[in-house]
Amino acid sequence: MTVLLISRSDSAATWAAELRRQAPDMPLKVWPDDIDGLDPASVTYVIAAKPPPGEIARYPNVKAVLSLWAGVDHITADPDFPAHLPIARMVESGLTNGMREFVMAQALAAHLKLPDYLNQQRQQLWRPEIRGPHGTEPLVEEVTVGILGLGVMGEACARALADFGFPVVGWARSPKDIPGVESLCGDDGLETLLSRSRILVNLLPRTDATEDILNADLFAKLPEGAYLINVGRGEHLVEADLLQALDSGQLAGATLDVFREEPLPGKHPFWTHPAITVTPHIASITRVRTGVGRLRAAIESFERGETPEGVVDPKAGY
């Protein structure tokens, strides 16, 4: 058995070092340094982050691919990816808790209109009333947050926001039972969620069914002046529709962490738009320290003939 790490992310060397430290018994090889002389037939598991197209297909005896990230589109985008291979997406506490922190911070910032006050500071403007006339500023209890996707990430964020006092409505394919969170499904459920969401958080996976979902039709169903937090994928968002919705005032602002093209190109209008907060795909990162345990447990589970948590359903695409 050989476990091959194929990563084109900046953290590849950190992962290799931590895998060797925490799992010294794992027969690990690292692409591309260890490829010379490696028998492709010996590779049984691939740990992957944005593998080069065609690379995984070179190893005929792979039993499963383990993603270093929660999304698996960076693996399935490869036209030569062997469709029969199981893919385990990353599920680990550091990634989940990091997302919970980020979404909570952005929801609170949107609720408190912190981006607007920052813009005012840059112009040396003293206008306290952007949150409403003094004494009428809303508290979180009056600000419903809608969450698209109630999976590992969405559920953790929904629980935290509800615990903090926000009314929370979530949307998924199947109903959920999460304390303090209203769970909705289907087209009708989506309409209901949108009609109430002052803040909309996207935590859907990228699939054929979800691409372009953040579009003009959807924005029009939100209350006027709603705020968008997109931490799913750039392909969920129709960029021109967002700019239009911001210009018309239908949306008051947006925090965008993911983009169709990353890094976001230098001349992109999102960089300088006063109502857009841009972060460089850092909403949450798999923590190497906790992620290694997950990788090891998933491989052991596959070896026992079991299915670890987070194996992608090929029909659903996530």
- The catalytic residue positions are 233, 281
Q: Does 159 bind ligand NDP (CB under 6 A)?
A: no
The footprint of ligand NDP on this chain (CB under 6 A) covers a number of residues equal to 30
- Residue 25 or 187 having the CB closest to ligand NDP: 187
Q: Does 212 bind ligand NDP (CB under 6 A)?
A: no
Residue sitting closest to ligand NDP (CB): 151
Please identify which residue in 3, 43, 62, 71 interacts with ligand NDP, judged by CB under 6 A.
71
Please identify which residue in 232, 234, 253, 308 interacts with ligand NDP, judged by CB under 6 A.
232
Q: Which residues are registered as beta bridge partners of 28? A: 3
Burial class (CB in 10 A: 0-12, 13-18, 19+), 212: exposed
Q: Does 3 bind ligand NDP (CB under 6 A)?
A: no
Please identify which residue in 115, 167, 205, 234 interacts with ligand NDP, judged by CB under 6 A.
205
- Residue 171 or 302 having the CB closest to ligand NDP: 171
Please identify which residue in 43, 103, 153, 229 interacts with ligand NDP, judged by CB under 6 A.
153
Q: Within 13 Å of residue 297, how many CA atoms lie on the same side as its CB?
A: 13
DSSP state of 6: E
- Six-digit token string for 19: 């895998």
- Residue 70 or 276 having the CB closest to ligand NDP: 70
Q: Does 110 bind ligand NDP (CB under 6 A)?
A: no
Are 94 and 239 spatial neighbours (Cβ–Cβ below 8 Å)? no
Residues composing the chain:
318
Q: Does 113 bind ligand NDP (CB under 6 A)?
A: no
Q: Does 150 bind ligand NDP (CB under 6 A)?
A: yes
Q: Provide, rounded to whole angstroms, the least separation between the CB of residue 209 and ligand NDP.
A: 4
Q: Which of 157, 173, 294 is nearest to 232 (CA)?
A: 157
List binders of ligand NDP among 165-184 (CB under 6 A): 171-174
Burial class (CB in 10 A: 0-12, 13-18, 19+), 316: exposed
- Six-digit token string for 204: 């859907």
What is the C-alpha radius of gyration for the chain, rounded to an integer number of angstroms? 21
Q: Does 75 bind ligand NDP (CB under 6 A)?
A: no
Burial class (CB in 10 A: 0-12, 13-18, 19+), 63: middle
- Residue 115 or 149 having the CB closest to ligand NDP: 149
Q: Does 92 bind ligand NDP (CB under 6 A)?
A: no
- Six-digit token string for 194: 């949108």
Q: Does 209 bind ligand NDP (CB under 6 A)?
A: yes
Say how far apart CA 227 and CA 241 lie, in whole Å.
14
The DSSP annotation for 230-241 comes to: E-S-GGGB-HHH
For the beta carbon of residue 207, count every other beta carbon within 10 angstroms.
17
Q: Provide, rounded to whole angstroms, the least separation between the CB of residue 95 and ligand NDP.
A: 6
Task: Read off the amino acid at residue 7.
Answer: S
Q: Provide, rounded to whole angstroms, the least separation between the CB of residue 316 and ligand NDP.
A: 7
Please identify which residue in the block is written with the tokens 């006050």. 117
Q: Does 196 bind ligand NDP (CB under 6 A)?
A: no
Binding site for ligand NDP (CB under 6 A): 70-71, 95, 99, 149-154, 171-174, 203-207, 209-210, 231-233, 257-258, 281, 283-284, 318
